[in-house]
Amino acid sequence: MTTAIATTDSTKRAADQLAVNPQFGVSIREMDVLQLMADGLADKEIAVALDISKFTVNKHVGSIMRKLNAASRTEAAVRAFRMGLVS
**pLDDT by residue (tens digit) across 30-70?**
999 999 999 999 999 999 999 999 999 999 999 999 999 99
**Burial category of 82 from C-beta neighbours within 10 Å (exposed 0-12, middle 13-18, buried 19 and up):** exposed
In a domain, 15, yes or no: no
Q: At 27, is the secondary structure helix, strand, or coil? A: strand
In a domain, 8, yes or no: no
Q: Report the distance separating Cα 13 and Cα 2, nearest Å.
A: 17
Residue span of the structural domain in which 31 resides: 26-87
Tell me the pTM. 0.75
Does any domain span residue 21?
Answer: no
Residue 68, SS3? coil
Tell which residue, 64, 84, 83, has the closest CA to residue 73: 64
DSSP 72: S
